[in-house]
Structures are given as structure tokens and as C-alpha cells.
Amino acid sequence: MAFSIVYKGGDILSEYNDIVLRMENITKTFPGVVALDDVSIDLKKGEVLGILGENGAGKSTLIKILAGNYIKDSGNIYVDDEKFEIKGTAEAMASGIRVIYQELNTLNNLTVTENIFIGEQIVKGPFKIIDWKAMIKKAHELLNILNVKLDPNAVIGDLSISEKQVVEIAKAISKEAKILVMDEPTAALSAEETQSLFSIINTLKAKGVAIIYISHRLKEIFEITDRVTVLRDGKKVGTLKTKNTDANKLVEMMVGRDIKDMYPKKEVQIGDYVMEVKNLKADGFEDISFKLRKGEILGIFGLLGAGRTSLVKALFGANKIRSGQILINGKEASIKSPSAARDKRVGLVPLDRKAEGLALIMGVKENITLANIADLGKSFLIDKKNERQKAGKWVDEIGIRTPSVDQEVNSLSGGNQQKVVLAKWLESGSQIIILNEPTRGVDVGAKIEIYKLIEDLCERGSSIIMISSELPEILSIADRIITMNKGRFTGQYLRNEASEEKLLSKACQ
Ligand SMILES: Nc1ncnc2c1ncn2[C@@H]1O[C@H](COP(=O)(O)OP(=O)(O)OP(=O)(O)O)[C@@H](O)[C@H]1O
Ligand SMILES: [Mg+2]
């Protein structure tokens, strides 16, 4: 396996004998956007190539071309040195290209086993009868390899996002893969699940599988990749050997500037109590009490399954409250539905934006103004001009990368969809805004824009409850942090008292 790496003007080109994939001079345009402009990558047997770039940089487009979801405008693809014209997903799969997509593609009405073997069912006998027994057995094995306890007969619709993600991973590794692509695979995984994914990656690597790994989490890029390619605005900035670079360098390549001050915290005047929660109990948690002040950012930290999402759903009227009280501005508020929450000016930016936060086939402008249709026009006639203006303002302010406010949200990159959900609630001017992992899947530059916006909202008098699993994030922007474990509060810290160790130990106790 002789190979050497040659440094050529900022680009490490691999001169391997065992390159399995070359994508050369790939260009792809969509109406109004050049998603990829003359991008080339190569991939060796048994290596992990990271792909980094801001939201909308073209990462997912590149792999969708490889997977046969999109047809390139120009450029060439070679698999094992042979030119490969990929015309569809079935063809890509048949040649050993497996993809775990950024957006979950599991089918909610089907079981875990059915999802894993969709399109590739195991059959037996001359009449090709579906061999359920074999499939369930194989599903068991795959889930065991992934170290998860999941019933192969469970219906997908009943699973959490992280469980759905695990099913996608099982599907991808269910057949021998030559090239395995993972687009943000850990976005919904806990630290523990991420580690089991990494051990699977290492096993596959050792077997010679070539892996493309897309993530916004630099820590993961450093832990798991051998080389990393950075894209910016659809162009390749360069490819580096991971061990020869550092976070600052990569961020600079990604955003084209040096980001030193990652999380600036603006001190905002904190006012009176706006919300008080007393001994609240619902499915997923119990005995929760806390107070929230005007202008305050209250962080909630906990590991997966700690009850954080159940709690915020209850505050938003989407999870039935069993006992306890919620007071808003000193008065008892009966929040029995999301619309009751909205009446009390409580907004939620949900975790699963695809299922709960967005109308995917509608445009950017409709989505941003969705929560506020009542403000836009007196009758059913929505004031289109006003709608455009309002949406346009947010597109500029938080830098939503879209050709226009008319663009279907479906076609935006993952991170830009997240910004649309956020804009919707910013536009609604809620008094209390609940954010569930607001920067998940959002790139470093956009993260900072979102933090600034959150702080602006506080300055204008809103209060924020923010769930985040990212310790550096919660430690630097929350004024106060509450930790949760197994459905209960386990600790509370002011920002200057909190530390990563304290939060983690309380979240795991
Ligand atoms: N089907 C489509 N129709 C129109 N435009 C699209 C489509 N798919 C992608 N784009 C556009 O192409 C550009 C690149 O998007 P892509 O999804 O590849 O970005 P990304 O790097 O994966 O971003 P993220 O980190 O947010 O996932 C974006 O401007 C996006 O809006
Ligand atoms: Mg993407």
C-alpha cells in the first residue's frame, strides 16, 4: 500500500495506489445558485475524508451527486479508476456507495427491520419469498454491532430522532459498502452514541471501506478523519491532512476570515420574573420548578433522555401537564395547546425542524410569517408585500442563504432551514422563546450570528429558555444553567459558577 502525500500550494493531493473514488471538476447549479463550482476530491481505501464548510457551502450537494440523487452539470467521477456515470440511486448503491443523509429518510409507518431493508429485502427460494426471519435476525445483528437496544419490530414513528438516526446507520451498513458517506451523522446522537459510531467507523476503515464524513463539529473532524476538504460558496478551498492542521486554520478556510472571539457574551439588563414553573409534572419529567426573568437566557443542560424535550414541549402546550403550575407575568396560565402558548406569547424552536418546525413545500417567506399570519392581513387576504418585506429583513439579518424569499424551504441547506425556523419565532416577537438545540447543524459563522440575535432579543425584552448539548455554547451564552437527569432537575448554576465538569457530573449523576 505504497503512497505518498505531496503538498502543492495549499492542497494536499493524495498519490495513492488504492484510490477508490475521484470526483473531478464537479459543477452543479440550481436556479439562482451555483451549488458546486469545479470541485474535486479523491478518496482512498480505508481512509476517512472530512468535508467541512459553512451552511450552503455545497457539502450535501456533492454527496447527493455521488449517490445519484442529483445529476451533475459537468465533471467526471471515477470509481476504482473507472469512469462512472451515475444515473440514479439504485445504481450508486449497487456499486457499493452507501449514504447516511443529513435529513432523516426513515419511513414512519414501517418497522425498524422494514426500514433497514427497504429496496433490498432478503428473499428465499425459487419464488423469491421475502425472508422475514432472516431480515429480523440480520437487523438484530446490525443493532448489536451499533450497540443499541432497539426492537427490530418497533414502528419508526414511535422512535426518537436519535433512534431513527441509528436505523439509518444500520441501513447504510447492512450491505457491504465500498464508499460510505455520512452527512452530519451525529447531529442527534449523544456523546456515548457518537463514540459507538466512531468505533464502527474504525472497524469499517480497517476493513478497507472508504469514508466521507461531513460534520460541523470540529472536535469530531479531528478525532475521526485522516484528511479534510474545505468548501466555501461551492468552491474547494483546499484539502489538508488532519494532523497537520488546527481548528483556527480550518475555521479561517471555511469562513474566509479569522474568528477569534467564538462566543462573545453581551451583558443584558435582567428584569422581573416573567415565568414561574411550580412542581410541574408531565410524561418524561416530574417535580420541576424554576423561575425565568425578563431578558434572561436560562440554559438547560442534560444528556439524551434527561427529559429536556418533554419539559419544553409541556411549556409549549404540546405535552400534557399532569400536575403543577405555570405562571406567566404572575398569573396562572393554562397552556393546554401550542396555540394557547402562542396566545401567551410563548414560542418554541423545536428540535426536529423537519417534522415540527417547517412547512417544507412552502416558501421561505411563508414559513417565516407562518406563526403570525394574523398580523399580516385583516382577512384571508395576506398582505403579500408586507410578507416579503418581513421575510426579507430576516434573510438579511441572520444571513439565510437563499436565492429569494420565494424559494421552497425544501431546497435550502440543512443549516439554512434551521435559520428559517428561528426567523419565524423571532418575527413573532414572543415574550418567552424556547430554543431546543438552536445551533444544531449550523456552521460556526452562523452560530455567532444566532447568539447575537438571541442576545438582541433579550435586550428588546424577550426571555429565552435554551436547551443545548454543547457545553461551550451553553457555558458562554446562558446567564443561568439548570442541569437535568432522568426527568428531574439536579443542579443550578450562575454562568460564572458553572464549568464543564460540574455540568457533566450533575447531568450524569
Ligand atoms: N434541490 C435544490 N434546489 C435548489 N437549490 C438547492 C437544492 N439543493 C441545494 N441547493 C442549494 O445549493 C447550495 C448548497 O447546498 P448544500 O445543501 O449542498 O449545502 P451544505 O454545505 O450541505 O450546507 P449545510 O451545512 O447547511 O447542510 C445552497 O445554496 C442550497 O440552497
Ligand atoms: Mg448539508
Q: Any idea which of 70-74, 461-465, 495-499 has the lowest mean pLDDT? A: 495-499
- What's the 506 CA to ligand 2 centre distance in angstroms? 33
Q: Which of the ligands is closest to the CA of residue 407?
A: 1
201, 177 in Cβ contact below 8 A?
Answer: no
User: What residue's CA is closest to ligand 1, atom 17?
Assistant: 413
- What's the 357 CA to ligand 1 centre distance in angstroms? 19
Which pLDDT value is given to residue 257? 57
pLDDT tens digits, one per residue of 278-295: 999 999 999 999 999 999
- What's the 236 CA to ligand 1 centre distance in angstroms? 15
Nearest ligand 1 atom to alpha carbon 443: 25
303, 485 in Cβ contact below 8 A?
Answer: yes
89 in the same domain as 114: no
Exposed, middle or buried by CB within 10 Å (0-12, 13-18, 19+), for 350?
buried
* CA pair distance 166, 160, nearest whole angstrom: 10
pLDDT higher than threshold 70 for residue 242: yes
251 in the same domain as 296: no
Write a three-state SS string for 266-321.
Answer: CCCCCCCEEEEEEEEEECCEEEEEEEEECCCEEEEEECCCCCHHHHHHHHCCCCCE
Asked, for residue 267, whether it belongs to a domain, the answer is no
Supply the mean pLDDT for the chain. Answer: 85
Give the Å distances, CA to CA, from 313 to 7, 146, 337, 434: 52, 29, 10, 9
405 in the same domain as 354: yes
* CA pair distance 240, 467, nearest whole angstrom: 34
* CA pair distance 407, 178, nearest whole angstrom: 36
- For the beta carbon of residue 263, count every other beta carbon within 10 angstroms: 12
Protein residues with CB under 6 Å of any ligand 1 atom = 30, 33, 35, 53, 55-61, 102, 401, 411-416, 443
pLDDT higher than threshold 90 for residue 478: yes
Write a three-state SS string for 395-422.
Answer: HHHCCCCCCCCCCEHHHCCHHHHHHHHH
State how many domains the chain has.
3
12 in the same domain as 69: yes
User: What residue's CA is closest to ligand 1, atom 28?
Assistant: 56
Query: Higher model confidence: residue 15 or residue 436?
Result: 436
pLDDT higher than threshold 90 for residue 504: no
316 in the same domain as 345: yes
182 in the same domain as 157: no
Which pLDDT value is given to residue 7? 38
* CA pair distance 170, 100, nearest whole angstrom: 9
User: What residue's CA is closest to ligand 1, atom 9?
Assistant: 411
440 in the same domain as 406: yes
- What's the 412 CA to ligand 1 centre distance in angstroms? 5
The enclosing domain of 459 has a CATH number of: 3.40.50.300
- What's the 60 CA to ligand 1 centre distance in angstroms? 7
115 in the same domain as 23: no
Which pLDDT value is given to residue 378? 46
pLDDT higher than threshold 80 for residue 245: yes
292 in the same domain as 217: no
Domain boundary among 255, 283, 299: 255
Which domain, by its residues, includes 384? 273-508
pLDDT tens digits, one per residue of 190-199: 777 788 889 8
Which pLDDT value is given to residue 263? 61
The contacts of residue 285 (CB under 8 Å, 6+ apart) are 307, 310, 311, 314, 484, 487, 488
Asked, for residue 80, whether it belongs to a domain, the answer is yes
Residue among 30, 72, 358, 410 to mutate when testing ligand 1 (max atoms within 8 A of CB): 30
The stretch 146-174 carries a mean pLDDT of 84
